[in-house]
Chain A
Amino acid sequence: MTVLPTSLPADLSGLSSAELLKLERAIARRHSGHFPWFMVIWAYLNIAVWLALWPLTILGYLPLWAAFPIAVANMTLVYLPTHDAQHHIIGRPGTRWHWFNEFLGHSTSWIMVTPFEVLRVTHLDHHRYANDPVLDPDIATSAPNAWQAILRSIRNKAGHDERNAAYGASLERHGRVDLMLLALAYDFVFLAILCALAWSGYGLHAFFLWWLPIKIGFIPIDFYLSWAPHHPADAMGRYRDTRAFRSRLGNLWSMGMQYHIIHHLHPYIPLNRNPAAYREMRPLLVARGCRIDGL
């Protein structure tokens, strides 16, 4: 049995790159490999709340104006457990829980109207090519400042679609025409459901519980998952393309993204373990010259 170091040497300056990496991986291993109950409960509680909004509003138990902000929060919150599944964090390939990892990914991503495999292929390209002006599918969220980032996110959702084009290019590079067609099918089925609901007299429900919440709910996702941790998106490389940062809204309201650098370095650590891993790994990140802006 391998005994992992529980604390770092006081002086890291004499260590080689390989020795630093070994220490980094030892910390990462301590925070991974457990079944992430927290993320699983998050995923299904969130989707259960969103599904419950429909009968509650249709039967008049909850006014639509009260359900709308909840639906927006549901859309913001749905991405992160799905994101963990994209990285096989719920269950590694070859383990007894891998089927559940895939099930969680598929069973939650449909409410975002994007196939799980599309999210996975494009997101792994983001990890592979973070900040690459051509190959990073998320480069379409980069902007010189926070307000410009929000504006760009809104423009993308209003049909300017730089990000969709980047996702399409990523799928094309991987030869995944099947996923492009699947994404189109999702889009058309969604349109058909919206139209059917609207002409059946439930247009306002479809608008305020699903269509508009997707648009609004993904602005914070673009901001905190894509823009903030990679800003100014001008550097590439393992210890350069992502930063730690102190969010004005705190870690909870920025969905744990203050510690996104840990996710890029060790994407198999569950989201809720990133802060603890960061605290242990911080001296190593400093030694590597990473940006740890105020955190």
Chain B
Amino acid sequence: MERALEFVLTIKPLIFALGFLTPVLAQALQAMQVREPFGLASLAFSALVCGAWGTLATIRKGRWI
């Protein structure tokens, strides 16, 4: 139980990035009428950007900047 909790805490930045920031960025792009950034669907683009940032934050032990 404790190890599972530790694992979830470790990857929490990635969960936050994909679960929250991704749809938020996609909705922001739609609100600004930015369609198909770099030829990608806005959700796919957001998942790439936020996933990369979330992975970095996970590697940096939760530090986003």
Contact = CB atoms under 8 A, between A and B. Distances in A.
Indicate, yes or no, whether A interacts with B.
yes
Interface residues of A, number: 17
A196 to B, nearest CB: 9
Nearest to B28: A204
Interface stretch (A34-42, A110-118, A154-162, A234-242): A154-162
Helix, strand, loop or mixed for chain B's interface? helix
A201 interface: yes
Contacts of A159: 13, 57, 60-65
Interface residues of B, number: 22
A194 interface: yes
Helix, strand, loop or mixed for chain A's interface? helix
A206 B24 contact: yes
Interface string A120-133: 00000000000000
Interface string B5-25: 100010011011001101110
Nearest to B25: A203
Contacts of A194: 16, 19-20
A191 B63 contact: no
B9 to A, nearest CB: 8
7 contacts: A159-B65, A184-B5, A191-B19, A198-B23, A203-B23, A203-B28, A207-B24
Interface of A: 155, 158-161, 184, 191, 194-195, 198-199, 201, 203-204, 206-207, 211
